[in-house]
Amino acid sequence: MKNVLLLITFALVSHLAMSQSCVGKWTTIDDESGKKKSVVELYKYKESLYGKITYLYPREGREENPVCKKCTDDRKNQPLVGLQIVRNGKWNGTEWAGGTIVDPENGKTYSTKIWLDPKDPNKLYLRGYIGPFFRTQTWIRVNE
């Protein structure tokens, strides 16, 4: 009986920990139109946070899987689906910081901070910086 209770407790704590994590799939929202833009999968690799586009919502006038024409690094001319847009985020105890994100539409790379909404773990905030200027996006967790 003791082992069963221990197993149930471990399972509940593990589930809670995962639900409080930035790791997972997130729907990105277009700042201007408010429409769903893509699904990005955030994942950890060697203690750093990375993210890649796994799905693009259909948009009129866009080819099925466009490439990152304006990217200037190793992502140039790579298909957007599968493109690693978030790189090298480091956990500082409250947020993932010090990483970068590329905007495939303009090819610019921004420094980032990423954190969960403390009241709603299904909302993630990603803030991109260039110098003192920043923009914050809200991403919504994909429930599979």
Give percent of the chain above pLDDT 70: 86
Number of domains in the chain: 1
Long-range Cβ pairs for the range 39-45 (8 Å, 24+): 39/142, 40/85, 40/86, 40/139, 42/86, 42/114, 42/124
Say if 56 falls within a structural domain.
yes
| Mean pLDDT computed over every residue of the chain | 87
The residue among 40, 42, 22 whose CA lies nearest residue 92 is 22
pTM recorded for the entire structure: 0.83
Range of the domain at 93: 22-141
Say if 5 falls within a structural domain.
no
| Mean pLDDT of the region 102-121 | 96
Tell me the pLDDT band of 15, cut-offs 50, 70 and 90.
very low
Say if 28 falls within a structural domain.
yes
Say if 74 falls within a structural domain.
yes
| CATH number, domain with residue 48 | 2.40.128.520
Q: What does the pLDDT look like over 47-103, one tens digit per residue?
A: 999 999 999 999 888 887 799 999 999 999 999 999 999 999 999 999 999 999 999
Q: Which residue has the higher pLDDT, 8 or 20?
A: 20
